[in-house]
Amino acid sequence: MRIRSLALCSAAALALAACSGSEEAPPADETLPAAATAMAAVENVRFSLAVDGEVEGLDIKSAEGVVTSGGEAEGTGVITAMGMDIEVSYVIIGDDAHVKGFTGGYQQIPVGDDMLPYDPTVLLSPERGVSALLEAYDAAEPQGTEKVDGADAHRYEIVFDPVAFTEFIPAEGEWNTATVWFEPETSRVVKAEFEQDGAAVTLLLSDYDDSVAIEAP
């Protein structure tokens, strides 16, 4: 009877671990190089970026849309300008951005202008994007498996190279430590969280390599 009870307890513990998402993730030195390779091959992806709190050097509250490896992007965002939060729509093609605020039509501006302080095309940039950042990590530890948008994802705590990180997100301070979730089958990034001094930046990536056509307005 005691042996049966122990077996039942062990089975229950294993089931609880599986449900809680504590399954062991692969070693970081396997996952991160595979993820860097996978992200370098991405042609387009849908993203959502949310900023909670004050992040010096990153004058946006949120941004979402689609970005391509060819340097194009389209979506909406909330920027901070003149002490106000302003919702904008944007289209980026190469070095040119087309931005529309809450009044009027689209204005053509250079990428990096105050009306578009964050350039989402950096996400898939070979030199500055997610793949380059994953190649430049200093340390990483697996943290198990969790659900992200209803699907299993391997979670890691990662310390990135500080210089590479400032190319990725122009935030002032030591923001190069992150929690990152990877899709098990493809090793592609599905979520990343960066925190410092009570502020947080959350990035979600989904709908990889869908059919996308971005044109200037």
Q: Which residues pair with 140 in a beta bridge?
A: 158
Question: Is residue 11 domain-resident?
Answer: no
Query: pLDDT for 178-213, tens place per residue?
Result: 999 999 999 999 999 999 888 999 999 999 999 999
Question: Is residue 130 domain-resident?
Answer: yes
Between 80 and 180, whose confidence is greater? 180
Query: pLDDT for 83-100, tens place per residue?
Result: 788 899 999 998 899 999
Which residue is listed with tokens 């294993």? 14
Question: Is residue 216 domain-resident?
Answer: no
Q: Which of 63-77, 100-114, 154-168, 175-189 has the lowest mean pLDDT?
A: 100-114
Average pLDDT, the chain: 87
Question: Is residue 16 domain-resident?
Answer: no
Between 14 and 207, whose confidence is greater? 207
Question: Is residue 217 domain-resident?
Answer: no
Give pLDDT, residue 172: 81
Number of domains in the chain: 1
Question: Is residue 6 domain-resident?
Answer: no
% of residues, the chain, pLDDT over 90: 67
Query: pLDDT for 143-152, tens place per residue?
Result: 999 999 999 9
Cα angle, residue 99 at apex, residues 96 and 102 outer, rounded to 5°: 175
Question: Is residue 177 domain-resident?
Answer: yes
Give pLDDT, residue 62: 95
Describe the chain by its helix, strand, coil percentages, rounded to 5: 25, 40, 35
Would you state the torsion angle of the CA atoms of residues 22, 50, 161, 73, taken in this order, to the nearest 10 degrees? Answer: 120
Question: Is residue 13 domain-resident?
Answer: no
CATH number at residue 200: 2.50.20.20
Whether 202 and 193 have beta carbons less than 8 Å apart is answered as: yes
CA Rg value for the chain:
20
Domain span at residue 119 reads 25-206
Give pLDDT, residue 170: 83
